[in-house]
Chain A
Amino acid sequence: MAQTIRVDGVRKWYGDTHAVDGVSFDVEEGEFFGILGPNGAGKTTLLEIMEGLRKPDDGEVSLLGMRPWPRNPRLLPRIGVQLQASSFFERLTAREQIRTFASLYGTPPAAADHWLEVVGLTDKADTRTEKLSGGQAQRLSIACALVHGPDVVFLDEPTAALDPQARRNLWDLLREINNQGRTVVLTTHHMDEAELLCDRVAIMDHGNILKSGPPAALVRGLDAPTRIGIETGTVPVDGARQLFPDAEVSDDGVSLTVSTRNPAAVLSALADRNALRGLAVRGASLEDVFLDLTGREYRA
């Protein structure tokens, strides 16, 4: 398959801060690729190097077979970018904003208006962008990135300011875009989002990629126990420990959690005792992968 993006040994240091510290990976054509990591991991820096907005200190990037740095006007019509900080022309309405962006790419105003509708901002079309809510501005910013139908889309934390409903709608939209054959690269703090959307993720911390691969494979590779939680007090902690000697039992005062590799047995034992109040079963997730890789609890 064609390599849409190749990142090879990219490094960017700011003084003592190793924002990106020698990173290599490929993104294939039509792939949905996620870059995951906590604040300051280097996601934005890496993404902006891939877009050609920053110059790497070292290493090479190839995007659609071209070099993004120095600024390459032949490449630019084919990529769409949503920056982490919304960037709008001052004192323009939402409609004027997206129409202006569309015209920079030679896209007609009708397509701009259509995109306004796609992100649900038609009734805010005449509102100045300064007066949009954070989530509305974010949606407009995403629409501005997609309006010209780019082959490769870079989104820096696209769901950061969105309410749960808008988040799900954006997921659907991004899947749809990806199904049309466009390559999507996004950064996110949310493990669940990455697991849900991405064909492959790269987990970043301190400027390095700790691990990359399909989310399911990463989780499976972890071979982590399943966690079964019930309401505290349903079963005494000591009783649970005796019942499930192979499992790890903990109680935080809200729920009692049993971590086991044999969830079926634990569940049926609990069911026999009619002790399933507040039941929650959780398999391993990318959060566990992160914990396993760094020894730290994942906090976004």
Chain B
Amino acid sequence: MTSERPLDGDTLDASTAPDSAPASAVATAPPAVVDRPAPGGMGGQGQAGRARRTTSFLSLARAMFLGFRRDRAGLFFTLLFPLVFLIIFGGLFNNTGTYKQSVLEVGSVPLIDQLPADARAELGQVFKITKVTDRAAALDKVRNGDDEAVIEQVGDRIVMHYSAADATGAATVQGVMTSLIQNANVDATGQPPKFSLDSDSVEDKSLSYIQYITPGLLGYAIAIGATFGATSTLVTWRQKKILRRLTLSPVGVPTVIGARIVVSMGIALIQTAIFLAVGAGFFGLKLSHYWWMSIPLIFAGTLSFMSIGLLAGAKAKSMEAASAIANLITIPMAFLSGSFFPLDGAPGWLQGLAKVFPLRHLNTGMLDVMVRGKSPVSVLPEIGILLAFAVVLSTIAALMFRWDDI
């Protein structure tokens, strides 16, 4: 006997005779009327039709989301993998910008000690100043390369000792000290300074590495998530015959597609929240005022990546084939769209080529509103381009679409 419960779970002897009609069958028989649809009334019109469409939309979306949440490999590639990139890149490169010169101050150096508090704080951003008394030991440290310079003051004369082995460090310290001394000299005259120099880097000054890499990697994560989400729904649902089964239920194609879009957009929002939280929480990411404008950008991007996924899944017979196609598209796209490093140094033709990828436009737009502080309207062209990608690609995918393998 089987250990599992028989269909109607009752006396074995009663049902060994094939056509005995055991009472048990009747006892657990289906209700005579199980919400039988009114004949012809469920065509989708009217209030009942709308209510049913809403519940089927929600339950399909739920089924898709649960399928995503329980798919370990999918979770890894859409959430963890790009996040690991962010942590590695953020951790590796983010400190170089804030590297401080280590300076040893021997005895008392009034020029430094008597600086006003704000000037002192500013100096603290470039110098890490340590007060020492042993002059010989300090000089040894510079000689060994442990510290960049030793500074001492004899009367009005400031003496700086440096090692020729670390020319850059020495030059930095020397430059800062020279300007300190000149400021002090000007102050001593009691006259306002006649000339002044404002220096400005030609690079975008707000873009420290983390500011650049967070939107870039987020774009990559969204591209992977939306592309593979659409591909896997299409291919595995076709493979598992669930698409055929759905054609036999009253839900329409728009409901199925709509549910998938909403789920993909939800996943993109989750990715965004995680990336921004990690970037801001651990690596000092600072969002500019109109960062929220990245949300419509992300929605438009999600649509265009989903259409790439539909295209990859339209003809593929297996999920393996479909992911190979999707990878072939998304990986070069991520590199050429500047998700991992800026394209500023790339040759012009390459930068031109990058424009055929929707991710390039998403990245540009996200950089503009998330960290460059550009106005919300400035990214409307990017949104338009992303939507155009979505329309064109999904039209092609629709033309190639097959319900099943038969």
Q: Is A111 an interface residue (CB 8 A)?
A: yes
Instruction: Write out the residue numbers on chain B whose beta carbons fall within 8 Å of the beta carbon of A118.
Output: 7-8, 28-30
B139-156 with Cβ < 8 A to chain A: none
When C-beta atoms are compared, the residue in chain B nearest to A68 turns out to be B248
Q: B242–A172 contact, CB under 8 A?
A: no
* Majority secondary structure of chain B interface residues (helix, strand, loop or mixed): loop
Q: A103–B56 contact, CB under 8 A?
A: yes
Assembled-state Cα–Cα distance A175/B19 (Å): 10
Question: Per a CB cutoff under 8 Å, which of A89, A92, A147, A171 touches B34?
Answer: A147
Q: Is B84 an interface residue (CB 8 A)?
A: no
Q: B31–A114 contact, CB under 8 A?
A: yes
Q: B30–A100 contact, CB under 8 A?
A: no
Q: Is A220 an interface residue (CB 8 A)?
A: no
User: Do A101 and B249 contact each other (CB < 8 Å), given the known contacts A53-B244, A87-B242?
Assistant: yes
Q: Is B247 an interface residue (CB 8 A)?
A: yes
Q: A149–B9 contact, CB under 8 A?
A: no
Instruction: Write out the residue numbers on chain B whose beta carbons fall within 8 Å of the beta carbon of A78.
Output: 37, 39, 42
Assembled-state Cα–Cα distance A188/B1 (Å): 24
Instruction: Write out the residue numbers on chain B whose beta carbons fall within 8 Å of the beta carbon of A89.
Output: 63, 67, 237, 240, 242
Number of interface residues of B (CB under 8 A): 62
Instruction: Write out the residue numbers on chain B whose beta carbons fall within 8 Å of the beta carbon of A243.
Output: none
Q: Is B55 an interface residue (CB 8 A)?
A: yes
Least Cβ–Cβ distance between B127 and chain A, in angstroms: 57
Q: B241–A87 contact, CB under 8 A?
A: yes
Q: A168–B242 contact, CB under 8 A?
A: no
Instruction: Write out the residue numbers on chain A whose beta carbons fall within 8 Å of the beta carbon of B25.
Output: 169, 172-173, 175-176
Q: Is A88 an interface residue (CB 8 A)?
A: yes
A116-143 with Cβ < 8 A to chain B: 117-120, 122-124, 128, 133, 136, 139
B9-60 with Cβ < 8 A to chain A: 9, 12, 15-16, 18-19, 21-22, 24-26, 28-37, 39-40, 42-44, 48, 51-52, 55-56, 58-60
Instruction: Write out the residue numbers on chain A whose beta carbons fall within 8 Å of the beta carbon of B15.
Output: 165, 168-169, 172
Number of interface residues of A (CB under 8 A): 66
Q: Which of B7, B28, B245, B250 has the most CB of A within 10 A?
A: B7
Assembled-state Cα–Cα distance A52/B18 (Å): 33
Question: Per a CB cutoff under 8 Å, which of A122, A151, A169, A176 touches B30?
Answer: A176
User: Do A81 and B7 contact each other (CB < 8 Å), given the known contacts A106-B48, A172-B15?
Assistant: no
Q: Is A163 an interface residue (CB 8 A)?
A: yes
Assembled-state Cα–Cα distance A19/B16 (Å): 37
A84-124 with Cβ < 8 A to chain B: 85-92, 96, 99-101, 103-108, 111, 114-115, 117-120, 122-124
Instruction: Write out the residue numbers on chain B whose beta carbons fall within 8 Å of the beta carbon of A76.
Output: 42, 248-250
Instruction: Write out the residue numbers on chain B whose beta carbons fall within 8 Å of the beta carbon of A92.
Output: 63, 66-67
Assembled-state Cα–Cα distance A74/B250 (Å): 8
A151-174 with Cβ < 8 A to chain B: 151, 163, 165-166, 168-173
Q: Is B62 an interface residue (CB 8 A)?
A: yes
Q: A105–B248 contact, CB under 8 A?
A: no
Instruction: Write out the residue numbers on chain A whose beta carbons fall within 8 Å of the beta carbon of B242.
Output: 87-90
Assembled-state Cα–Cα distance A123/B3 (Å): 12
Q: A149–B4 contact, CB under 8 A?
A: no
Q: Is A241 an interface residue (CB 8 A)?
A: no
Q: B244–A87 contact, CB under 8 A?
A: yes
Interface residues of B (CB under 8 A from A): 1-2, 4-9, 12, 15-16, 18-19, 21-22, 24-26, 28-37, 39-40, 42-44, 48, 51-52, 55-56, 58-60, 62-63, 66-67, 70-71, 236-237, 240-242, 244-252, 406
Pairs of residues from A and B, 9 with the lowest C-beta to C-beta distance, nearest first:
A169-B7, A149-B34, A172-B25, A106-B52, A87-B241, A77-B42, A103-B59, A87-B245, A74-B43
**Contacts A105-B250, A106-B55 given; 18 further ones with Cβ under 8 A?**
A51-B248, A73-B44, A76-B249, A77-B42, A78-B39, A83-B244, A85-B241, A87-B241, A89-B242, A100-B62, A101-B249, A104-B251, A105-B249, A106-B48, A118-B7, A165-B6, A168-B7, A169-B15
> Can you show 14 pairs from A to B with CB atoms below 8 A apart?
A64-B39, A73-B252, A77-B37, A83-B241, A85-B241, A87-B242, A100-B59, A104-B60, A106-B42, A111-B35, A114-B31, A118-B30, A165-B2, A172-B25
